[in-house]
Amino acid sequence: MSTTKGQSRSRKASSQDDGPVAERSRTAREAAAASNNGAETMPLDTEKILELYKKMNVIRLFEDAAQRGFRTGKVGGYLHLYSGQEAVATGLLEYFQDTDKVITAYRDHAHALLLGSHPTEVMAEIYGKGTGLVKGKGGSMHLFDVENGLWGGYGIVGGHIPLGVGMAYALRYQGTDGIVQLYFGDGAIHNGAFHEAANLAGLWGRDGMNPTLFILENNNYGMGTSVERATAMTDLSAKFDSYGIEHEDVDGMDLFAVLDVAKRAVQRVRETGKPYAIEAMTYRIAPHGAADFLERYRTKEEIAEWRKRDPIGLVEARLLESGVSDETLDGIKADAKAIVDEAVRFAEESPDPPLDELYTDVYADTVDTE
């Protein structure tokens, strides 16, 4: 059976079969082989792990609550959930520092929560309330919290990638030590915007002018199209080679592996001003949007298989192994639930944006030329 990474590792497997979609897709086990499990190299104290465990639980419960909001008609538009991919952003943003910037696509709730946006304001935005992160103007796809480092939240696949590269140039130009964490998907990598921007990043990086950390979240599907059905070169991170950008893969379901890679990668980009890329092999256990025809492009069995390597479950197992009690974990889950319940309550009780808000923010105030 050919697989996303398996195909590149053992190329002979790639051409012979032409079986059903699900059979050709990458398995959870093979994703695990994508990196040399960071668990060995990452001495983390239990306190820290518990803190990250809590963050991941908040994200998952937050997404479940947003989904309920959608199903009950309180949330409109499009809604893209991060469920299943929590370890990626949680691990990478652990090494975020104040001077850094984050830019991502429409699957952006987790990034906001991890960067410190208040869950109440994030949920209020998803509900389209005036108390939302962007005053109800953008909704789920366009979360911005510039003060905390989140520069959006974009809806056009690939469209934000050049922005991230330009932001990274600006960070160096302005003499800071910041880097840009630029997130995008396996579908977006086939968009022209990616290729033009990656080339620029590689070029400018030669002069130390492009501290972009590309984070390719490979969840194996762009909507209903698997990686195998989108490209003949399924080793996606190899595409960075054409632009002189070094890269590595990581098991995106394993928080410890992500943390390990993130620490090194962030430091390297910061020090060199050169771009670097991480391909995180992950999986969305949620539909593409709030709902999709899942069985048209993947099987329930495939999802069940990946759920066995649920990123939260993996952390939980590690904690139990190291002697943390069930009660402690239950307590953390209860705390996470309380945070999300409060976010939902706040969103539901918040007022709609005032109608005048429709006409504000179209243009920035022009400078006085007198």
Partner 1 sequence: MTVMTYREALRSAMTEEMERDESVVVMGEDIGVYGGTHLVTDGMLERFGPKRVIDTPIAEGGFTGAAIGMAMMGMRPIVEMMTWNFSFQAVDQIIQNAAKLRYFSGGQVSVPLVIRGPNGGGVQLSAQHTHSLEGFYGHFPGLKVVSPVTPHDVKGMMLTAIRDPNPVIFLEAGALYGTKGEVPEGEELVPFGEARIAREGTDVTLIGYGRQVNMLLRVADKLEREAESISAEVVDLRSIRPFDERTIVESVRKTNRAVVVQEQWRWYSVASEVAAILQEQAFDDLDAPVERVSGAEVPAPYARNLEIEAFPSEQQIVDAVHRVLYRKG
Ligand X SMILES: Cc1ncc(C[n+]2csc(CCOP(=O)(O)OP(=O)(O)O)c2C)c(N)n1
Site residues, Mg ion (CB under 5 A) = 185-187, 219, 222
Q: Which is nearer to ligand X, 186 or 251 (CB)?
A: 186
Give the whole-angstrom CA distance, residue 243 versus residue 199. Answer: 5
Say how many C-beta atoms besides its own lie within 10 A of residue 148's C-beta.
17
User: What tokens does 134 get?
Assistant: 């962007």
Select from 43, 301, 321, 355 the one that contacts partner 1 (CB under 8 A). 355
Query: Nearest to residue 134, comparing CAs of 62, 126, 143, 115?
Result: 143
Select from 84, 152, 153, 222 the one that contacts ligand X (CB under 6 A). 222
Q: In what order do the strands lie in the sheet with 101-104?
A: 150-153, 101-104, 180-185, 212-218, 276-281, 246-251
Give how many residues touch partner 1 by CB under 8 A: 42
User: Is residue 303 close enough to count as binding partner 1 by CB under 8 A?
Assistant: no
Beta carbon of residue 350, minimum distance to Mg ion (angstroms, whole number): 32
Q: Which is nearer to ligand X, 114 or 188 (CB)?
A: 188
Contacting range for ligand X; rule: CB under 6 A; set: 56-64, 216-224, 309-317, 330-338? 216-224
φ/ψ of 4, rounded to 5, equals: -55, -60
Strand partners of residue 182: 103, 214
210 binds, among partner 1, Mg ion, ligand X, none (CB under 5 to 8 A by kind): none
Cis peptide preceding 164, ω within 30 of 0: no
Q: Which is nearer to ligand X, 61 or 236 (CB)?
A: 236
Contacting range for partner 1; rule: CB under 8 A; set: 274-282, 320-328, 333-341, 350-358? 350-358
Site pattern 23..52 for partner 1 (x: CB under 8 A): ------------------------------
Tell me the residue nearest to ligand X as measured from the CB.
Answer: 185
Coil, strand or helix at 298: coil
CA distances from 99 to 102, 146, 214, 236, 368 (A): 10, 11, 17, 29, 30
Select from 137, 264, 268, 337 the one that contacts partner 1 (CB under 8 A). 137
User: Is residue 317 close enough to count as binding ligand X by CB under 6 A?
Assistant: no
Q: Which is nearer to ligand X, 209 or 230 (CB)?
A: 230
Half-sphere exposure of 236 (CA within 13 A, CB side): 33
Give the whole-angstrom CA distance, residue 296 versus residue 348. Answer: 35
107 binds, among partner 1, Mg ion, ligand X, none (CB under 5 to 8 A by kind): ligand X
**Strand intervals (E) in 246-321:** 246-251, 276-281
Q: Which is nearer to Mg ion, 136 or 252 (CB)?
A: 252
Beta carbon of residue 289, minimum distance to Mg ion (angstroms, whole number): 12
CB 235 within 8 A of CB 30: no
Half-sphere exposure of 82 (CA within 13 A, CB side): 35
Site pattern 4..23 for partner 1 (x: CB under 8 A): -----------------x--
Query: Nearest to residue 211, comparing CAs of 241, 173, 238?
Result: 173
Select from 70, 127, 204, 221 the one that contacts ligand X (CB under 6 A). 221
What residues line the site for partner 1 (CB under 8 A)? 21, 76-78, 128-130, 136-139, 141-142, 154-159, 187-188, 190-193, 222-225, 229-231, 293, 296-297, 352-353, 355, 357-359, 362
